[in-house]
């Protein structure tokens, strides 16, 4: 039997209507997407919906979610998530975040540890590590950025990025509807991650406050965020475990959905 697609819902929040993808049953598992805004585009969530009540809110400015103008920094992002928790009646769900979403999950778990039952961070942003800079995501040709996000250069995301870059080289204007999601996602990401770039200087000192059982997952071929970032998260969060996934790049949710779903399922169901 093929997985059932998640439903597309709307909830109210302090900043406006928020798009939420939801499906499955069982323990609540909240997925916080990356700067690619991939929540609705990955079979990962449909696979996890076989085991969990999967809830994937789109951050303001991504998808159909409103409120980007009301978000100025990562603190606003954390409080927005608390508002989403309240609107959905969530107590202490499992939380699974990738890249930008992993950073947001960590911010939530340090501020309100009681709101996170278990935690999975996949190639998380959020830290500054001397000698291990995060790659640039703003202002780069799509094909260059795509190769930092995926280990497999034949992935459809990379192929599409190559096509957009080729159109630009030929002075052909790509269709706006093709470009709009990417431009919208980058604009929304910039609200929380432009300066300081993709990190909160205070976060590393607060990671000891995370009380949830934590799994940190690193794509062994992640060319955007060096492994030192995952190592630091794992070292600073009490009892955290670090796992490397061979052949995976930065956007593991899109590139290795089955492997990642297995890791998430094992970690969340084993807690306690």
102-123 pLDDT, tens per residue? 999 999 999 999 999 999 999 9
Is residue 1 one of the residues assigned to a domain?
no
Is residue 226 one of the residues assigned to a domain?
yes
Residue 165 confidence (pLDDT): 63
Is residue 2 one of the residues assigned to a domain?
no
Residue 143 confidence (pLDDT): 83
Is residue 139 one of the residues assigned to a domain?
yes
Distances in Å between the alpha carbon of 259 and those of 48, 141, 170, 217, 246?
A: 11, 29, 39, 11, 10
Is residue 56 one of the residues assigned to a domain?
yes
Is residue 16 one of the residues assigned to a domain?
yes
Residue 176 confidence (pLDDT): 45
Q: Which residue has the tokens 């490397």?
A: 244
Distance, in Å, from the CA atom of 169 to the CA atom of 195, rounded to the nearest integer, reads 30
Torsion sign, CA atoms 194, 13, 32, 233: positive
Residue 9 confidence (pLDDT): 95
Low-confidence ranges of the chain (pLDDT < 50): 1, 176, 272
Distance, in Å, from the CA atom of 259 to the CA atom of 261, rounded to the nearest integer, reads 6
State pLDDT tens for residues 69-88. 999 999 999 999 999 999 99
For the chain, the domain total comes to 1
Is residue 141 one of the residues assigned to a domain?
yes
- Within 8 A by CB and 6+ apart from 149, the residues are 36, 157, 158, 223, 224, 249, 250, 251
Residue 221: give its domain's CATH number: 3.40.50.1820
Is residue 209 one of the residues assigned to a domain?
yes
Domain span at 95: 7-270
């Amino acid at each position: 039997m093929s997985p059932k697609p998640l439903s597309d819902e709307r909830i109210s929040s302090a900043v406006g209507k928020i798009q939420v993808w939801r499906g499955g049953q069982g323990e609540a598992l909240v997925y916080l997407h990356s700067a690619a805004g991939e929540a609705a585009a990955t079979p990962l969530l449909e696979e996890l919906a076989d085991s969990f009540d999967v809830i994937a809110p789109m951050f303001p400015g991504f998808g159909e979610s409103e409120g980007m103008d009301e978000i100025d920094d990562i603190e606003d992002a954390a409080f927005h998530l608390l508002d989403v928790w309240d609107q959905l009646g969530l107590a202490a769900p499992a939380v699974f975040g990738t890249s930008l979403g992993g950073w947001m999950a960590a911010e939530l778990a340090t501020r309100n540890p009681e709101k996170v039952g278990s935690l999975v961070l996949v190639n998380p942003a959020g830290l500054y590590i001397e000698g291990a800079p995060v790659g640039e995501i703003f202002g780069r040709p799509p094909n260059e950025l795509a190769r930092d996000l995926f280990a497999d250069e034949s992935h459809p995301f990379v192929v599409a990025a190559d096509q957009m870059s080729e159109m630009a080289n030929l002075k052909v204007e790509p269709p706006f509807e093709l470009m709009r999601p990417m431009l919208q996602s980058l604009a929304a990401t910039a609200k929380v991650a432009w300066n300081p770039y993709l990190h909160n200087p205070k976060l590393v000192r607060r990671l000891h406050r995370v009380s949830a059982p934590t799994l940190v997952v690193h794509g062994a071929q992640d060319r955007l965020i060096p492994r030192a970032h995952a190592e630091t998260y794992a070292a600073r969060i009490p009892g955290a475990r670090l796992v490397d996934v061979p052949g995976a790049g930065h956007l593991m949710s899109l590139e290795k959905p089955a492997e990642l779903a297995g890791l998430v399922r094992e970690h969340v169901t084993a807690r306690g």
